[in-house]
Every structure is written in structure tokens, then in C-alpha cells.
Structure 1
Amino acid sequence: MKQFLLCPDVLDPQQLAQKLSSDRAGAFVSFEGRVRNRNNHRVVQRLEYQAYAALAEIEGARILMEASEKFAIEHACCAHRVGTLAIGDIAVWVGVSSAHRDAAFACCRYIIDEVKLRVPIWKNEHYADGESGWLHPDNTPVDPG
């Protein structure tokens, strides 16, 4: 199974991980990207993620297919939240099962890096001072000018 999901609701890592179970897999690796309370020396109160869903789902699925061709894995899943997220919420979850740990680690890293680079999902940080700002995938502010 290879699956990319856009999720408006809280992510449940245990439920997501169960989808990746396989008797042939000796390794399972997951990554959780969580909302933190500071970025670029500013206090963050919450995040808002927006996605161009139709394209995001196509590109996300393409990344997972590429990953399965590049690495010897059994299953892979990537779930990304959309909507408003609180501090501590899981914003993105990636899980990979494989016969061996090297492939699982490498594939998990590949998936998160490619998703951040290629999938049209935008992050708007809301700050304690009442301002907000859109960010590039590397968490630097977008210059509105």
C-alpha cells in the first residue's frame, strides 16, 4: 500500500501505522512533523495549512510511487493536515515499512523531503503579536513585496 492523504482532522499515528503492518517487514520508520511554538525568533500561536487538493493528492501519490521504485519497501503512507492546527499538533506524518531498516529510514527521509519540496501545501503562521505570515517550505517568511 502506498497512500497520500490530506486530512482536516487530527492525525492518529497509531491508526496510520497499523495500515503499514506486514509480516514481511522487519522495519518500520515514521516521522512526525509537529507544530512548534516558535519560529524565526517569533512566538507562534497556531498554524493554518492550505492545499491545492487535486494537485497535492496527485503529486503526493507520485512521490510515494517514486519512493517505492527507488527503495525496497513494503508500504508507505504520508498524511498531511490542512486547516487550523494548534501547538503540538502533528502537521505531517510519514510511515514506511520494509524488510530492512536502511531502506525504511532512507525512504522516509526521501518522502518528507519531496513532499515539502513539491506538494502544493502552504503554511501560514499566526503569531502572539497578532500578525501572521506565509512561509516557504524552509520556514523562511514569504516576502509579500
Structure 2
Amino acid sequence: MIELKEQKDINISDIIDSVKSDYCGAVDIFIGTVRDNLVGKKVTKLFFEAYTPMAISELSKIADTVKERYKADKVSIVHAVGDCLVGETAVVIAVSTPHRKASFEGCQYAIDTLKDTVPIWKREYFEDGSHWVFSHP
């Protein structure tokens, strides 16, 4: 499951179910949520925008690398697009592997690489204004 969805359509249980496997003894989940602060400023929401065809392609490459490098059986990555309020889920990554260490490492690789390579842009909203975060290509 590699998807971009509006936040209201992200179902964490479905994502977890999508990676379950009798072959695997470990499922690691990363759930990224919107926090209420950034460098001492109160965050009110985030807005995510993506170049969808390239984002899906890059997310698929990440999943393929996790499968190859960490011997993952299944990988799901779902990222929100549009508005995300404080406390809401912005990204979910699920990785199943035969053993826990590889599952943890694969999940960490996926989120770190996503933040570096996937064309998803974030606008942070504060009580006194907003700005785009330009940490992606």
C-alpha cells in the first residue's frame, strides 16, 4: 500500500493489516503526527502538498529498497495531503520482517529517506502566520 490521502481517509488499522504476514514475526509501525509547537511557536496546523506521480514513484522505490535491504515481506507507506490539525496523523509507515531488528531499521530508513527524497512539501501554520518548509528536493 503506497498512497497519498487526505488525513481523514488514513486508517492506521488498515495499514497495519496490509503488512501482516504469517512469514513474519515482526511488524514495525511509524506514525507521524502533528505536534503543537515548533521552536517555541504554537503550531495550529500543517498543510501538505505533493507532486503525486513522482511522490508515488519515490515512495515505491523506498518500499522496494526496504524489501531488498532489510528482507521485508511487506511495506506500506501512506502520507497525508491537504490540511492536518494538531494531533492528527500525517504519515504512517508499516514494515513486516521475519525478525524485529530488520523491521525497526527498515521503518527508520523509510521515514528518513521519505523526508529527504519524496516531493511532498509542508506549510506550517502558526498563530501569527505561516511559512513553507523547503527541506525536500
Same fold (TM over 0.5): yes
Residues 131-142 of structure 1 aligned to structure 2 (within 5 Å): 131-137=129-135
Q: Which has the higher helix share?
A: 2
Q: Tell me the matched-pair count.
A: 135
> Counterparts of 1:74 and 1:136 in 2: how far apart (Å)?
33
For residue 117 of structure 1, report the CA deviation from its aligned partner. Answer: 0.4
For residue 122 of structure 1, report the CA deviation from its aligned partner. Answer: 0.5
Q: Confirm whether residue 102 of structure 1 aligns to residue 96 of structure 2.
A: no
Letter of the 1:81 partner, please give it: A
Q: Confirm whether residue 46 of structure 1 aligns to residue 45 of structure 2.
A: yes
> Counterparts of 1:95 and 1:34 in 2: how far apart (Å)?
15
For residue 15 of structure 1, report the CA deviation from its aligned partner. Answer: 1.3
Residues 1-145 of structure 1 aligned to structure 2 (within 5 Å): 3-10=1-8, 11-129=10-128, 131-137=129-135
> Counterparts of 2:114 and 2:36 in 1: how far apart (Å)?
22
Letter of the 2:64 partner, please give it: M
Find the counterpart in structure 2 of residue 141 from structure 1.
Answer: none
Deviation >3 Å, runs of 4+: none
For residue 21 of structure 1, report the CA deviation from its aligned partner. Answer: 1.1
> Counterparts of 1:54 and 1:73 in 2: how far apart (Å)?
24
Percent identity, aligned pairs only, is: 32
**1:4-25 deviations in whole A, cap 9, x for unaligned?**
2101142221111011111111
Secondary structure of the corresponding residue to residue 82 of structure 1? strand
> Counterparts of 1:33 and 1:98 in 2: how far apart (Å)?
21
Q: Which runs of 5+ in 1 are unaligned?
A: 139-145
Letter of the 1:4 partner, please give it: I
> Counterparts of 2:130 and 2:96 in 1: how far apart (Å)?
38
